[in-house]
Amino acid sequence: MYIAAVVLSVLLALFSFTAGAPKAQLKGSVPEGLIAKGLSSGLVRFIGLAEIAAAVGLVVGIWWPPLGIAAAIGLAVVMIGAVRYHAKWGDYANSEARGAATAPILFAFVAVAAALTLTASQ
């Protein structure tokens, strides 16, 4: 179970960091799109920093599981917020935006799985 927890934590950390870095720096098309749809630049930066913090927490959580569990749960909460945001803007009905909009659903499930495997591996 520990190996599964490590694999899930590392994969989630990579995803979370690569998704959060552009938002934290407010560079690239993703932050610009979020701001264009009504999110403030401060909120976009906060989301990016939360994703980066989750990545750090997941990696450190390999050695200290309580932090990894908290980071995985926090990332799941952020992803659920992203799902609500995409639903509000109708991205699931739009065939062009559907691909990017389904990623938070997948990663919310993976974050919950990581939290469960980290808990079971203690």
> How does pLDDT run across 63-88, given as a tens digit for each residue?
999 999 999 999 999 999 999 988 98
Taking 80 as the threshold, does the pLDDT of residue 28 lie above it?
Answer: yes
Global confidence as pTM = 0.90
The amino acid that residue 20 corresponds to is: G
Tokens of 25: 């720096």
Structural domain spans, the chain: 2-120
Tokens of 56: 């750090």
What mean pLDDT is predicted for residues 50-68?
95
Q: Which of 29, 27, 26, 43 is nearest to 81 (CA)?
A: 43
Taking 90 as the threshold, does the pLDDT of residue 95 lie above it?
Answer: no
